[in-house]
Structure 1
Amino acid sequence: MTVAESTYSGATSSVKTRYQGKRHRLDRPELLAPAGNLEKLKFAIHYGADAVYIGGQKYGLRSNAGNFSFEEMREGVEFANRYGAKVFVATNIYAHNEDIGGLEEYLRNLEEVGISAIIVADPIIIETAARVAPKLEAHLSTQQSTLNWQAVQFWKEEGLPRVVLARETSFEEIAEIKKHVDIEIEAFIHGAMCSSFSGRCVLSNHFTDRDSNRGGCSQSCRWKYDLFVDDMPMYPEGEDQFTMGSKDLCMIEYLPELIDVGVDSFKIEGRMKSIHYVATVVNVYRQAIDSYFEDPENFVLKQEWLDEIFKAANRPLNTGFFLDTPGAEDHIYEPEDKPAPYDFAGVVLEYNEETGIAVVQQRNYFKLGQEVEFVGPGGRFFKQTITQMTDDKGQELDAARHPLQRIHIRTLAPVEPMDMLRKLMIKK
């Protein structure tokens, strides 16, 4: 059984021939990546994202992410412009009365620093942006739970150029929407799913007094719980506790179907995820999209792409609602082994072609004699064993122990700045 077969067991192959409609608006789908901070923004774009979505310090649903100041946004926009990429800002809370103060100034500042679009759910934020910051596009957030073409048509008539569909939307429903409405459609194609409908959860509110729909989600569904029946525990003392989070979404196997059905923007979830996660997932989807458009009739899903996806996976994967309604098997009820047996170990800062020495900034402990992988944009990849390491003073090292330490390593092949170093996790 292949990785794809084991990952997508139960998925039907008939979807591959069902959606051959005319595409709308964009020449090819946009690859939209999350960026929880400025460094992640740069890595996402460097590894192939056409656009990134970030959070500011107000009005977003990830209050615990490394959200951007306006100066950081400006720097991010300047970096994106060098790659021909765009920056979107999530302003997707459901606003209470006390949230409205300062909204006009905030939106004007977003427009002034060069943000291309806001992702928004609340109508008052949409209306305010149109009035005070007309250069900002407004993309309807998935938080609006848009599932049908009439609702999409409504938002088009309100002047929105793009709708981010509810994560519960199927291939059939997307095809029907694109049949009736000429508008850009954005859909999540990879990352964490929510156990509640379109993220409209109140568990966090009740358990921790943190409002999920105002940026405070405590991810209560990922907690461990004791499960009781008639006041009797179902699990003996000492056994793993019950969890109820959903498996993660991965649609890399169905890339041609996503294109054929007319999805204009492929959205990756994960503003709270690591640099390694964001760069790896973006790198794979970038290669797959480009490969498809080079020769659509002979597109082949490569095993190495699947292997890379699993090296960044946080949880078991499935296809969400695209093919059918998820069942009990699509949720996580007990703690599971981490699918990704690799850790992010370092980032290449510079490389000397004459000596073959790379300077790597340490991000995780690694040591002499350990096998590592170097990964770069476009599928550049090789393995090697570390046989010698020194610090900036030329002193021999047996391990890279200190965070952000500069480590000099002789590499078996050329590397480039922003290439990543990863290591195989050693189970204790």
Structure 2
Amino acid sequence: MELLAPAGTRENFLVAIEAGADAVYLGAPRLNARNLARDISLDEIGALIDFAHDRHRKVYIALNSLVRESDLSLVLETLAELEAIGPDALIVQDLGLIQLVRRFFPSLRLHASTLMSTHNREGIALLARLGCTRAVLARELTLEELAILARSSSIELEVFIHGAMCFSYSGLCLFSSYFGGQSGLRGNCVQPCRRKYSVVGGKGRGGGAGRGGYFFSMNDLEGLPLVPELKRIGIASLKIEGRLRSATYVNRVVTAYRLVIDAADEDAEAAIAEATRLIPEAMGRATSTGFFLSPRPRDAIVPHRSGNIGSYLGRIEARHAVAGRTWGQLTLKEQCVVGDRLRLHADRSGERTSFTLTELMVGATPVKQAVAGQQVELLLPAALSTAKDPGRLDVYRVDAKEETGQLLRGAAAPARSVKMSASRKKQLAMRIARLRPQIVIGEERVERQPDGTGRGRGRSGRKPKAEVWLRTDSPQLLLGRLPFHADRWVVNLRRQSLSFSGRLKGMHKGAVRDIIWALPPVISPAAMTALQRDIRILIRSGFRSFQIAQLGQIELFAGEKVNLFGDYTLNLLNSQALELVFRFGLQGVQLAIEADRSCLARAVAGWRQRPSADQAAKRSPGLLGLTVYGAPPLFTARLAADHFVYGRPLASPKQELFTIEKQEGVTVTRPQRPFSLLPFRGELEQIGIDYLVVDLSGVRAGKKDLQELGRRILGTDKVPALPTFNYRGTLA
């Protein structure tokens, strides 16, 4: 069993190796799903790979950011350089990146990131077909489910064993992106799950009107007691989260898990006890065993306390400025040391500010540390001096002072970087130059098109008109008379909606052709058998069109003559990803719902003008769709916590309103107000979008609501403005 450690810095990499990690993972510069203050350069990574290989350790490179069309040039250069320096594998989520590696860099091994939300046999089987040698599984799986998957998997399986937990399934979280364009899929998550929310208009066990709680803030994962069982069922690798954490954290956690992995069966209990004593030294954060022991862990969230909060040091009692610097006075609840990583929690706004403590005063005397009970003054971050009054400020220690010097005392050190020879650089540049025209369309080819895409006009000279597809989780809606026309209907496949299939079939002559059944993005191993039965029933009834939410769901239709479409949860934002999915026979796919206008235009242009497409790919219909109206799930989670209040509004510190909704096997959190791109219908048609999805899932659909929606679709009357997601902004 492999122990895989994180490293966000060169020093942490060396600490991980010294502490006994079998492998270390690093982020590729500008293309990984962690927004680090400073990425490790490829030259530095090359030196670290040589150092690790000399010691028979492995290095994996996280190239796991969602790739925009404008990123493809950087991706190409990065892949070419990585092939030259020889990491042991790349950790990826973007299907376009997988396509590029398969076609042009086949010597690079691929591990599927947890951002691909892999959680069942079908997903694993698809990854094997794509050439991945390992799947990093979703954190939401139980030991029992992991054992089932391990028995049938043809590739290695990796699980997270320790560190921070997202509330939502990784790869299915839109919360950070929906309000401000900071995409979690691109390493820019602002962690809205860590904020305090209040229940509006009623009382519940997690809070009441005017009261709040950290309803979505998961405690850290700690799986030390479960290592022997994970080893027994055949999990290949245990992964520690924490590329943003300190060297102290990496050392303590790697040392702890090394003890347990190496222990003989008869010594396992003693090793776990010894290792458990090391963990509090690393972080001082509340932990749980996550989903390993139950799909509904009761200790995963403590709603009155944020899960990533660390050790409470006290409340700022007074603030004052000296020479342009802001100091905060408090009475310590625990020891504090210069160099500790601290976090301020502003009660009024819910905002959190992290900083490293650089100066500490007791009275007028500068000190290096202070103990519980002492009144001290901390030098606060500069941003606080210009901020509005934050109200009550609580201080927490979230990481201990770096001990890198002590931890690496006497350890061997690698070269700072490995410089490529001039001849090798020339060869690399020539190869990139040969490949670039096959992958990247030139800026001039986008800009010279009148619509920015290169999509042609019809024979009449007019731009093609996009179809309108109506999506719903209430089939009854389709049986009534709608105040607008929909070209096709997308029905969410659930037990309740299946019971309407006979009536839907008889709606009109073309109903079977016009209805598309949409699969959910999460299908647990236990639910898969029932879903397969439902699909067979629908196919026998004459339905032939289905929408998949994960690419692995293709496996459910093997041997069937069906028309398959892709949901926005495939996270497609570049022409290479589109080429890959269309090679699997999909008739149409939705582009990523979080895209801005520029991202959409470039992705469509790249697909329409793709220079590398062979004749088979060019014959594909290649229809491109986009969800243009709806209240999409911002969180899609497995946890159904006791403190959740379903159906009542929750308010964020910024008074954004949401509701939690229980579905089959998941809970989803939606914004109360839908977004709408319908005012930009003409623009989207010019960009080259073939069908526009109006999604009423979880949205009010009374008579007046539908009439207003009809006016929005027709664009005939003025209607209240709605948010536009990232379309008019920038996806970061």
Q: TM-score, normalised by structure 1?
A: 0.69
Pairing partner for 1:195 from 167, 170, 190: 167
Question: Tell me, what secondary structure is at the counterpart of 2:410?
Answer: coil
Work out whether 1:331 is the aligned partner of 2:301.
yes
User: 1:176 Cα deviation (Å)?
Assistant: 1.4
Cα deviation 1:76-105 (Å, max 9, x = unaligned)? 212212322111111112223223233222
In structure 2, the residue matched to 1:143 is 115
In structure 2, the residue matched to 1:247 is 219
Q: Which amino acid aligns with 1:148?
A: N
Cα deviation 1:318-354 (Å, max 9, x = unaligned)? 11111111345411422367359787889xxxxxxxx
Structure 2, gaps ≥5 residues long? 313-333, 340-356, 361-366, 372-400, 413-732
Pairing partner for 1:171 from 127, 135, 143: 143
Instruction: Check whether the contact 2:11–2:404 (CA below 8 A) recurs between aligned residues.
Output: no
RMSD value, Cα: 3.6
In structure 1, the residue matched to 2:185 is 213
Question: Tell me, what secondary structure is at the counterpart of 2:244?
Answer: coil
Structure 1 residues 343 and 145: CA distance shift in structure 2, 3 A: farther
Instruction: Check whether the contact 2:222–2:289 (CA below 8 A) recurs between aligned residues.
Output: yes
Question: Tell me, what secondary structure is at the counterpart of 2:60?
Answer: strand
Q: Which amino acid aligns with 2:269?
A: V
User: 1:159 Cα deviation (Å)?
Assistant: 1.9
User: 1:275 Cα deviation (Å)?
Assistant: 0.9
Pairing partner for 1:417 from 403, 410, 425: 410
For the residues of structure 1 that align with 2:20 and 2:151, how far apart are their CA atoms? 30
Instruction: Check whether the contact 1:104–1:132 (CA below 8 A) recurs between aligned residues.
Output: no
Q: Which amino acid aligns with 1:76?
A: L
Structure 1 residues 132 and 68: CA distance shift in structure 2, 3 A: farther
Question: Tell me, what secondary structure is at the counterpart of 2:73?
Answer: coil
User: 1:41 Cα deviation (Å)?
Assistant: 0.8
Pairing partner for 2:278 from 308, 318, 323: 308
In structure 2, the residue matched to 1:89 is 61
Work out whether 1:299 is the aligned partner of 2:265.
no
Structure 1 residues 189 and 69: CA distance shift in structure 2, 3 A: same
Instruction: Check whether the contact 2:284–2:310 (CA below 8 A) recurs between aligned residues.
Output: yes
In structure 1, the residue matched to 2:41 is 69
Between 1:218-227 and 1:127-136, the stretch displaced more is 218-227
Between 1:179-188 and 1:137-146, the stretch displaced more is 179-188
In structure 2, the residue matched to 1:30 is 2
In structure 2, the residue matched to 1:114 is 86
User: 1:242 Cα deviation (Å)?
Assistant: 4.2
User: 1:267 Cα deviation (Å)?
Assistant: 0.3
Q: TM-score, normalised by structure 2?
A: 0.42
Structure 1 residues 225 and 369: CA distance shift in structure 2, 3 A: closer
In structure 2, the residue matched to 1:280 is 252
1:348-387 superposed matches below 5 A:
none
**Number of matched pairs:** 336
Q: Which amino acid aligns with 2:288?
A: N
Structure 1 residues 199 and 112: CA distance shift in structure 2, 3 A: same
User: 1:297 Cα deviation (Å)?
Assistant: 3.8
Question: Tell me, what secondary structure is at the counterpart of 1:76?
Answer: helix
Instruction: Check whether the contact 1:363–1:404 (CA below 8 A) recurs between aligned residues.
Output: no
Question: Tell me, what secondary structure is at the counterpart of 1:417?
Answer: coil
Structure 1, gaps ≥5 residues long? 1-28, 347-361, 371-402, 410-414, 420-428
User: 1:110 Cα deviation (Å)?
Assistant: 1.1
Cα deviation 1:343-376 (Å, max 9, x = unaligned)? 7889xxxxxxxxxxxxxxx999886999xxxxxx
In structure 1, the residue matched to 2:448 is none
User: 1:245 Cα deviation (Å)?
Assistant: 0.9
Q: Which amino acid aligns with 1:222?
A: R
Rg larger for: 2
For the residues of structure 2 that align with 1:287 and 1:404, how far apart are their CA atoms? 22
For the residues of structure 1 that align with 2:227 and 2:182, how far apart are their CA atoms? 37
Structure 1 residues 120 and 343: CA distance shift in structure 2, 3 A: farther
Question: Tell me, what secondary structure is at the counterpart of 2:275?
Answer: helix
Pairing partner for 1:102 from 74, 78, 81: 74
Instruction: Check whether the contact 2:28–2:40 (CA below 8 A) recurs between aligned residues.
Output: yes
Structure 1 residues 219 and 314: CA distance shift in structure 2, 3 A: farther
For the residues of structure 2 that align with 1:201 and 1:226, how far apart are their CA atoms? 20
Work out whether 1:269 is the aligned partner of 2:241.
yes
For the residues of structure 1 that align with 2:149 and 2:9, how far apart are their CA atoms? 34
Work out whether 1:126 is the aligned partner of 2:119.
no
Cα deviation 1:4-53 (Å, max 9, x = unaligned)? xxxxxxxxxxxxxxxxxxxxxxxxx1100111111111111111111111
Instruction: Check whether the contact 1:36–1:65 (CA below 8 A) recurs between aligned residues.
Output: no
Between 1:88-97 and 1:268-277, the stretch displaced more is 88-97
Instruction: Check whether the contact 1:43–1:275 (CA below 8 A) recurs between aligned residues.
Output: yes
Cα deviation 1:43-68 (Å, max 9, x = unaligned)? 11111111111112222111235322
For the residues of structure 2 that align with 1:153 and 1:209, how far apart are their CA atoms? 33
Structure 1 residues 65 and 120: CA distance shift in structure 2, 3 A: farther
Work out whether 1:180 is the aligned partner of 2:152.
yes
Q: Which amino acid aligns with 2:163?
A: G
Pairing partner for 2:194 from 222, 238, 249: 222
Cα deviation 1:153-182 (Å, max 9, x = unaligned)? 222232221111111122122211222223
User: 1:279 Cα deviation (Å)?
Assistant: 1.1
Instruction: Check whether the contact 2:135–2:158 (CA below 8 A) recurs between aligned residues.
Output: yes
Instruction: Check whether the contact 1:170–1:324 (CA below 8 A) recurs between aligned residues.
Output: yes
Structure 1 residues 236 and 96: CA distance shift in structure 2, 3 A: same
For the residues of structure 2 that align with 1:221 and 1:127, how far apart are their CA atoms? 33
Structure 1 residues 289 and 329: CA distance shift in structure 2, 3 A: closer
In structure 2, the residue matched to 1:48 is 20
1:12-31 superposed matches below 5 A:
29-31=1-3
Question: Tell me, what secondary structure is at the counterpart of 1:75?
Answer: helix
